[in-house]
Amino acid sequence: MRFDIKDKALASKGKARILWADRNMPVLRAIRDRFEKEKPLKGVRVAACLHVTTETANLMRTLKAGGAQVALCASNPLSTQDDAAASLVEDWGVETFAIKGEDHDTYYKHLNAAADIKPHITMDDGADLVSLIHSSRKEALKTVVAGTEETTTGVIRLRSMAKDGVLGYPIIAVNDAMTKHFFDNRYGTGQSTLDGVIRATNMLIAGSTVVVAGYGWCGKGVSMRAKGLGAHVIVTEVDPVRAIEAVMDGFDVMPMAEAAPKGDLFITVTGDKHVIRKEHFLAMKEGAVVCNSGHFNVELQLEGGLYEICKARATVKDMVEEFLLPNGRRIYVLADGRLVNLACAEGHPAMVMDMSFANQALSAEWILAHKDELGKTVHVIPEEIDRDIAKIKLETMGCSMDELTEEQKAYLASWQEGT
Ligand code: ADE
């Protein structure tokens, strides 16, 4: 079996943590039990480029239970949980290529190793595997039937490819499922981002000023949780509608240039590049902490920005780098500007990844059933699947809800009844 991981000896710790996560993934577990019996993915090769975490391990177990052969690589050089990777290899026979802290070349070597499986289905978090297959590994296009994409950033990239007519196979935008982005992006990113900041710095959030760049689903979640911990929250936005939303949710909204001297903690979640630039770093207070929770490490202008203007830099503790600015102030960047929630904490909790990965597993099954009808574009997961996931999740949470009466259904379908 092929693999490249840090240390197989970490497997027993990884297995215990994977099973712990599984306790909070009842929807995925129900799918796995069904897959075990029905084998809908029999003979299917899946190449997955996802954050290698305990939750992802449970998705890999589910795909294997469905009969798939799986190769997994990391979708970020800093997000791998080495114990989960070891257990995937040792306990579940999943070809895994991921080492926390891997350099750029190793990251791409691992992507290539996943592509070597000659996939029928690709699963991406950020579209790096799709990009590879459309550039240096074009031969893989011959076998791929379709792919899935987990994240907003990846979906944006893939929609651009489809718009330019260069997307070589259909993609299911798992991110766009309601049971994904309403929960994973908002509550998952909200909690795990603050968790990452706190684990890395142990700073007190109460009474601090937290600047959140971006008020999409992730920004909403981060702002909400920072407020809940007692912070004064400032939001920066470029979209006027989102900016109003942030104001009406009770936050101050202003440009980054105004927010820069006010913040104690800066968190970017925009999906765009250079949101915090040289001039913003130079305006920050002594001791400001800066991090990113958007998919790529481009939101902070580090190369060509902070790295150039600083007078000195030093790692002061794990994942915390100090920069001495020309004005004598010191600021701190977490995890090299990479996803702080996965690099400094454990990513989103299993409870929320349950729905995201239920969407991934069911999308794989759906792709196979509909492969002949899918055009080479980005597709949204069918609403029935999305709603089924929500229903099962609700049941597993011990909640029930009302049902429409026949009279109510008729009323909603009619237009004659009025004032
Ligand atoms: N993305 C964010 N959190 C994650 C997690 N726990 N596992 C996999 N992907 C993630």
Residue 290 CB burial class (10 angstroms; 0-12, 13-18, ≥19) = buried
Supply the pTM of this predicted model.
0.96
Task: Please state the atom number of ligand 1 nearest to the C-alpha of residue 346.
Answer: 6
* Residue 353, ligand 1, Cβ within 6 A: yes
d(CA 355, CA 390): 8
Cα–chain-centroid distance for residue 334? 18
Where do the domains of the chain lie, and which CATH numbers do they carry? Answer: 8-180+347-396 (3.40.50.1480), 187-343 (3.40.50.720)
Helix (H) or strand (E) holding 36: helix 26-38
Tell me how far the alpha carbon of residue 192 lies from the centroid of ligand 1, in angstroms: 9
Tell me how far the alpha carbon of residue 356 lies from the centroid of ligand 1, in angstroms: 9
- From the CA atom positions of the chain, what is the Rg in Å? 22
Task: Please state the atom number of ligand 1 nearest to the C-alpha of residue 53.
Answer: 7
pLDDT tens digits along 277-322: 999 999 999 999 999 999 999 999 999 999 999 999 999 999 999 9
- For ligand 1, pick from 25, 189, 356, 359 the residue to mutate: most ligand atoms within 8 Å of CB: 356
* Parallel/antiparallel/unpaired status of strands 95-97 and 69-74: parallel
Q: What residues in the chain have per-residue pLDDT under 70?
A: none
* Residue 17, ligand 1, Cβ within 6 A: no
- For ligand 1, pick from 17, 20, 24, 51 the residue to mutate: most ligand atoms within 8 Å of CB: 51
* Parallel/antiparallel/unpaired status of strands 312-317 and 320-324: antiparallel
Sheet holding 320-324, edge to edge: 252-253, 232-236, 209-213, 265-268, 289-292, 330-334, 320-324, 312-317
Per-residue confidence (pLDDT) for residue 204, from 0 to 100: 98
- For ligand 1, pick from 18, 192, 352, 360 the residue to mutate: most ligand atoms within 8 Å of CB: 192
* Residue 347, ligand 1, Cβ within 6 A: yes
Using left for φ > 0, alpha for ψ between -120 and 50, and beta otherwise, residue 398 falls in left
Per-residue confidence (pLDDT) for residue 55, from 0 to 100: 98
* Residue 180, ligand 1, Cβ within 6 A: no
